[in-house]
Amino acid sequence: MKRLLVPAFGLLLLGGCASLDPAPHCDMSRVAGQRDLVAGPAMVEGETSPLKEMPMNSVSITDPNIIRKLYVRSIAARRTGTGTVEVVAQVVNCTDFPLNAEARTQFYANDGAASEPVSAWRRLQLPARTSNTYRELSLGDKTVDGYMIEMREGK
C-alpha cells in the first residue's frame, strides 16, 4: 500500500506544477496611480483640470484599447558616441493573445520645447505573454535634453 501512495503523492505534486504560469506578471494597479492631475487653471472655475500629467522621460500609453494590456517594464536613455540620444523601452504584453503596438518619440530641449520633429511610428509585435524592445535615436545631439515616448495600438 505504501508503494502506491508515494508515486501517487508525487503525481499530485507534479500536477500542481502544471498550473504555474511562467509568463510575466503584470500589476496594472500600479500603473493607474503613476500620473497625477495636471496642476494649473481649469477650464471651469472651481474645478480641477481633467488632464493627467505626462512627465518627461517617460512612456505614455495614449490608447485606451491597450492601456491595460501593455506594461512598460523599463525605460532608459543614453548618449551615443556621436552625441545623439537613444531611448530604449522594454514593453510586456500582459494578455493571452498577440498584440501589435506602435510607438514614437518626441525629443525636447532643456526649455521644454520640441527640439526636432516627432519620430515616425514604429511597430512592435508582441506575442502572448512576451516582451519586446522599442528603440529610437534622436536626430540632434546637443539640443536634446529630454524625451517622451507615446504608445498606441498597432493598426
Range of the domain at 143: 55-153
50 has a pLDDT exceeding 50: yes
Instruction: Please report whether residue 5 resides in a domain.
Output: no
Q: How confident is the model at residue 104 (pLDDT cuts 50, 70, 90)?
A: very high
57 has a pLDDT exceeding 50: yes
Locate all alpha helices (DSSP H) within 33-87, ordered by sequence: none
SS3 152: strand
- Around Cβ 64, how many Cβ atoms within 10 Å? 9
Instruction: Please report whether residue 149 resides in a domain.
Output: yes
Is 45 or 118 the better-scoring residue by pLDDT? 118
CATH code at position 92: 2.60.40.3230
Instruction: Please report whether residue 47 resides in a domain.
Output: no
102-116: b (≥16 Cβ within 10 Å) or e? bbbbbbbeeeeeebe
Q: If you average pLDDT over residues 66-74, what whole number do you get?
A: 91
19 has a pLDDT exceeding 50: no
Give the predicted TM-score (pTM) of the model.
Answer: 0.71
Q: How confident is the model at residue 12 (pLDDT cuts 50, 70, 90)?
A: very low
How many domains are contained in the chain? 1
Do the Cβ atoms of 103 and 149 come closer than 8 Å? yes
Say how far apart CA 63 and CA 71 lie, in whole Å.
13
Instruction: Please report whether residue 32 resides in a domain.
Output: no
pLDDT value for 15:
44
